[in-house]
Structure 1
Amino acid sequence: MPRTNAEVQALLQEYADLVRISGGDAFKARAYEKAARAVGGHPADVAGLDVKELREIPGVGRSIAEKIVEFLSSGQVSAVEERREHIPAGVRELIAIPQLGPRKAMLLHQELGISSVDALVAAIHGERLRDLKGFGEKTEQNILHGIELLRASGGRILLDAAMEVAERIVGELSALPGCERCAYAGSLRRMRDTIGDVDILVAAEASAPFMAALVALPEVAETLAHGEKKTSIRTAKGLQVDLRVLPPGSWGAGLQYFTGSKAHNIRTREIAVRRKLKLSEYGLFHAKSGRKITSETEEAIYERLGLPWIPPTLREDRGEIAAAERGELPDLITEDAVRGDLHTHTDLTDGLSSLEAMVEAAAARGYAYFAVTDHAPDLAMQRMTQEKMLAQRARVRELDRVHRGMRLLHGTELNIGPDGEVDWPGEFLAGFDICVASVHSHFNQSRDRLTRRLVRAAENPYVSVIGHPTTRRIGKRPGLDADFDAVFEACARTGTALEINSHPERLDLCDDDILRAKTYGVKFAVNSDAHSTTHLPYLRYGIGMAQRGWLTDEDVINTWPLGRLRRFLRPG
């Protein structure tokens, strides 16, 4: 069975979906979504908490807490059951389609029995929608277009894809005359693992040249809105980009406003109100007189609210306001603090670049050390042997210190087998500088077996790091159904680091898991899992996850000097 917190998270998310489909209050739906995420990432098991204790979880108010207690005591929630009776589960799939919306989705089910995207496509091709009120040939085409965009983007897109688009647009707009500042904001600046849309801000006196430049970009598939203050486009890959042009004097206020999550911004506005101020995207003002106090920098905005500047990756209303008020914000890890990458592959197995190329590229990044960790033999398609691995080790030793004095570690990525066993006997594993162990198969074992499997791997004296611990592939494969609290405890007990895999399709561990694991005293390794020299820069995304998980340099072993790292990898 899933962890209690996960069950409650799923229930709250379902209720949010049901509220939307039934045409309920959008704010209420967002509140339940936020509470679902907060409960899912809460380190303590909510099973034994009462209403008062539940309300200490960010985003959980009295009504939500009472529903959680009702669920824990009876196994169901009357409000959820009532909505379930009127809304079939399959209808929820339809509301993600652009151009459709909750009410039309419900109408399609009631009138035509449609409760899936595939069924909707078939109905459109059969011209079955045209007799319904509010539907016609144009509506059908709009819906089909929306389905194409949805399927192309998966509803949300991966962080790296959004970053690529955003940085390209920022580069184009920054080069235009009159641009004083230009940056991306929103969930991208907060480094969320997936992105719904991209917010671009420009500080300039005149907005028209920037709006015109945006819609003229070659990647624009359609213009959704074109105005003086805001223009929205959709790219050929389905990503919506919103451009806002601000007066230069309002830059700081606008950047703060359009970066924070809605919940974080509500908190900052509440602080402003208590101080008899008004905060908007244009500045911080005296509430009574309307006189502007400050607006040019984010730092000035937060300072006037009595807070230090809060890093964008923390602005999710997960306790950062309270921590800032207490002067307890963490000194977050940065990419510059990383001294080396501890999980990479070469063309000896499934990588695309040679050992020499990977080492040279790593040295160019300024690393002090670098680990090569090709796959072990239990992944049969890699055809690894002891002889191949020993030959690679010899070459690694030859290349040690060759590039800018960078030290090389010879390692391997072991496979955590169905019972927690790993490739190769202990006497052979003892020759490696580092062993990363990861699950690559048998994802559908029982919760107990998966948990025992991961714990046993952590207990192996030769395993230093558990790679991509949940095995999730964003949009493709969910994480393992294991008791990760037990896994986190085992890693803390055995001194085994948990990886934050920086590959944009993984970002595993995610921020919620990092927050939970940190409470157990676990150490982490932020790695690229690079299979090519071009993958090494993925590290930036893992650092983003680490920041969202409130990690400092001390929490991450590959920020440490080599001597300390070696003692961690081979204690005693």
Structure 2
Amino acid sequence: MARANDEIEALLQEYADLIAITGGDAFRARSYEKAARAIGGHPTDVSTLDAKGLREIPNVGKSIADKITEYLTSGQISVVEERRQSIPAGVRELMAIPMLGPKKALVLYEELGISSVDQLLDAIHEERLRDLKGFGEKTEENLLHGIALMQKAGSRILLNAAMDSAEQIVAELSRIKGCEGCTYAGSLRRMRETIGDIDILVAADDSAPFMAALEALPYTAEVIAHGRKKTSIRTTKGLQVDLRVLPPDSWGAGLQYFTGSTAHNIRTREIAVRLGLKLSEYGLFDAESGERITSATEEEIYERLGLPWIPPTLREDRGEIAAGLRGELPDLVTEDDIRGDLHTHTDLTDGLAPLEEMIAQAAARGYSYYAVTDHAPDLAMQRMTKEKMLAQRERVRALDRKHRGMRLLHGTELNIGPEGEVDWPGDFLADFDICVASVHSHFNQSRHALTGRLVRACENPYVSVIGHPTTRKIGKRPGIDADFDAVFEACARTGTALEINAHPERLDLGDEDILRAKRHGVKFAVNSDAHSTTHLPYMRYGVATAQRGWLTKDDIINTWTLTKLKRFLRPGN
């Protein structure tokens, strides 16, 4: 399921937090954070590396390499276990709340005896936090936001984690003799940003081998239910997987039935009833005679209902049925339409891979062009200077066309400051091919201030794209409170694109905001915001989010030719 890299990244990040809680050396905590990020973004599965190979990973020295080896051998890291024991369990529970740091969690425990989310909620409502140093009314509001985020997320997981699990299960079951079809369905096929459980469908005459295989998978922790038509398991990561085996001649009907949202399926069944038909997971039937009319493919099901095939990403009952009946469904953007990635990072700032590796992997994806956009200096931790940026530009220019003819753009990700200012003056920004501008701090400004800040960035003549516009991190941080309709209007007016950030923790803009922005006439850029070569494939999730927002390739600037793109990025040049 998850790569060993992901598990070790989480453990080392937890260890860094535990060091911080217990008043350990800040530099040591930071070194573990850096190692965690490097391992998470490393392209090779660390379980295949020896000690020497582990030490070749950036920020991984002998001590950390030894801890990784210990985990791969025993399934745990002893110093992490020991540090866990030194922290009250209640504090560790509080640490899971977005927007509550480890040190404040410890203060709440030591000063007020708070060791659970319910106790924290009671304390907030009783206004007992306000007497603590570093806490106040705004802190209480932030914590309520964080608790709401955590409770909303519940047992749901990010799209990419669910996809990794589903694709591995599909691959395993597809190898079984008698399999005539196997895929995932449900909210995962609709590419929702978080997934509650995974629906797997198999077309086969005999269900028994598939049910047995699912139960026997090495990552199956519990069999929740076993049956001839459906079996449910819980994985070692706590994810529920529901497997349904359908007769091969019911494949299309089953796929349609188990993919659409409840509301979408109600709409299709209502159409069937009006036509004197009955629709189920086994087919489309004549309501009076019970004769099956069609069931083999989704296309046949929709056609018989008077509809074109509706892409899974649209099946949410947001007007797709009416648009289909009118013949007005959009020709959705696909990943094949993407000509390049316009927001990526290297190890010059907070990326994990050198420039040459990022460019080579981008070229391997078949891109026509590719932008390198490392952070500008206002994010002080990146230690960027004009000299470093100009030196990188020379390297980028030297590598232009060297990888499969791919054209390179030299850009930067600017920080949108509290007043809407950006890092560098116009005379320096004028020489970049592309400037992405993003909010990275001061998230709690007033709605008026945040709106003005973003609008001012849109009005900067050198800013071409607003990066991860709401700043949200799914399940961890809510989006900023700005008047986004005013921001969308400003983008349309100034010719500034809005990013659809493809990182699964962001997917920002989300689909609902995309739909609103499109009505204002905004253009979009789907970018990976890659900080390692393993992040470049996240593009698929950004494209899926764009589809959920009903976007076509004409709406997205990085589906355009380079000539057209350059006119958009630098109008008048």
Q: Is the 8 A contact 1:152 1:238 kept in 2?
A: no
Q: Is the 8 A contact 1:154 1:475 kept in 2?
A: no
Post-superposition CA distance 1:424-474 (Å, at most 9, x none): 110000010000000000000000000000000000000000000000000
* Paired position in structure 2 for 1:6: none
Q: CA deviation at 1:235?
A: 1.3
Q: CA deviation at 1:153?
A: 7.8
* Paired position in structure 2 for 1:531: 531
What does residue range 254-265 of structure 1 map to in structure 2 within 5 Å?
Answer: 254-265=254-265
* Paired position in structure 2 for 1:239: 239
* Paired position in structure 2 for 1:200: 200
* Paired position in structure 2 for 1:109: none
Distance in 2 (alpha carbons) for counterparts of 1:272 and 1:479 = 41
**Helix, strand or coil at the partner of 2:176:** coil
**Helix, strand or coil at the partner of 1:224:** strand
Instruction: Give ranges in structure 1 of 5+ residues lacking alignment.
Output: 1-113, 121-149
* Paired position in structure 1 for 2:393: 393
Post-superposition CA distance 1:355-382 (Å, at most 9, x none): 0000000000000000000000000000
Q: CA deviation at 1:237?
A: 1.6
Distance in 1 (alpha carbons) for counterparts of 2:380 and 2:311 = 44
What does residue range 433-448 of structure 1 map to in structure 2 within 5 Å?
Answer: 433-448=433-448
Q: Is the 8 A contact 1:469 1:499 kept in 2?
A: yes
Give, as a single letter, the amino acid of the residue that structure 2 aligns with 1:350: D
Distance in 2 (alpha carbons) for counterparts of 1:564 and 1:410 = 17
* Paired position in structure 1 for 2:286: 286
Q: Is the 8 A contact 1:153 1:237 kept in 2?
A: no
Cα 1:151–1:238 change in 2 (3 A) is farther
What does residue range 31-70 of structure 1 map to in structure 2 within 5 Å?
Answer: none
**Helix, strand or coil at the partner of 1:395:** helix
Distance in 1 (alpha carbons) for counterparts of 2:510 and 2:344 = 20
* Paired position in structure 2 for 1:311: 311
Give, as a single letter, the amino acid of the residue that structure 2 aligns with 1:389: M
Give, as a single letter, the amino acid of the residue that structure 2 aligns with 1:421: E
After TM superposition, the runs of 4+ consecutive aligned structure 1 residues lying more than 6 A away are 150-153
Cα 1:151–1:515 change in 2 (3 A) is closer
Give, as a single letter, the amino acid of the residue that structure 1 aligns with 2:334: T
* Paired position in structure 1 for 2:417: 417
What does residue range 194-233 of structure 1 map to in structure 2 within 5 Å?
Answer: 194-233=194-233
Give, as a single letter, the amino acid of the residue that structure 1 aligns with 2:264: H
Aligned pair 1:559/2:559, yes or no?
yes
Distance in 1 (alpha carbons) for counterparts of 2:455 and 2:119 = 43
* TM-score, length basis structure 2: 0.74
Distance in 1 (alpha carbons) for counterparts of 2:196 and 2:535 = 23
Q: CA deviation at 1:269?
A: 0.1
Q: Is the 8 A contact 2:526 2:556 kept in 1?
A: yes
Q: Is the 8 A contact 2:153 2:475 kept in 1?
A: no
Distance in 2 (alpha carbons) for counterparts of 1:151 and 1:246 = 35
**Helix, strand or coil at the partner of 1:244:** strand
Cα 1:115–1:516 change in 2 (3 A) is farther
What does residue range 411-560 of structure 1 map to in structure 2 within 5 Å?
Answer: 411-560=411-560
**Helix, strand or coil at the partner of 1:243:** strand
Post-superposition CA distance 1:109-163 (Å, at most 9, x none): xxxxx9975559xxxxxxxxxxxxxxxxxxxxxxxxxxxxx99984210000000
Distance in 1 (alpha carbons) for counterparts of 2:237 and 2:519 = 39
* Paired position in structure 2 for 1:326: 326
Q: Is the 8 A contact 1:344 1:373 kept in 2?
A: yes
Distance in 1 (alpha carbons) for counterparts of 2:118 and 2:205 = 48
* Paired position in structure 1 for 2:336: 336
**Helix, strand or coil at the partner of 1:324:** helix
Cα 1:152–1:305 change in 2 (3 A) is closer
Cα 1:348–1:441 change in 2 (3 A) is same
Give, as a single letter, the amino acid of the residue that structure 1 aligns with 2:379: L
* Paired position in structure 2 for 1:358: 358
* Paired position in structure 2 for 1:383: 383
What does residue range 112-191 of structure 1 map to in structure 2 within 5 Å?
Answer: 154-191=154-191
Post-superposition CA distance 1:182-214 (Å, at most 9, x none): 000000000000001110000000001101100
* Paired position in structure 1 for 2:275: 275
**Helix, strand or coil at the partner of 1:266:** helix
Q: CA deviation at 1:219?
A: 1.3
Q: CA deviation at 1:569?
A: 0.1
The alignment yields a C-alpha RMSD, in angstroms, of: 1.9
Instruction: Give ranges in structure 2 of 5+ residues lacking alignment.
Output: 1-113, 121-149
Q: CA deviation at 1:221?
A: 1.6
Q: Is the 8 A contact 1:499 1:508 kept in 2?
A: yes
Post-superposition CA distance 1:317-359 (Å, at most 9, x none): 0000000000000000000000000000000000001100000
Give, as a single letter, the amino acid of the residue that structure 2 aligns with 1:267: R
Post-superposition CA distance 1:470-492 (Å, at most 9, x none): 00000000001000000000000
Which segment is superposed worse, 153-162 or 412-421? 153-162
Give, as a single letter, the amino acid of the residue that structure 2 aligns with 1:352: L
Distance in 1 (alpha carbons) for counterparts of 2:183 and 2:151 = 28
**Helix, strand or coil at the partner of 1:499:** strand
Distance in 1 (alpha carbons) for counterparts of 2:233 and 2:529 = 34
Q: CA deviation at 1:239?
A: 1.1
Q: Is the 8 A contact 2:205 2:247 kept in 1?
A: yes
* Paired position in structure 2 for 1:403: 403
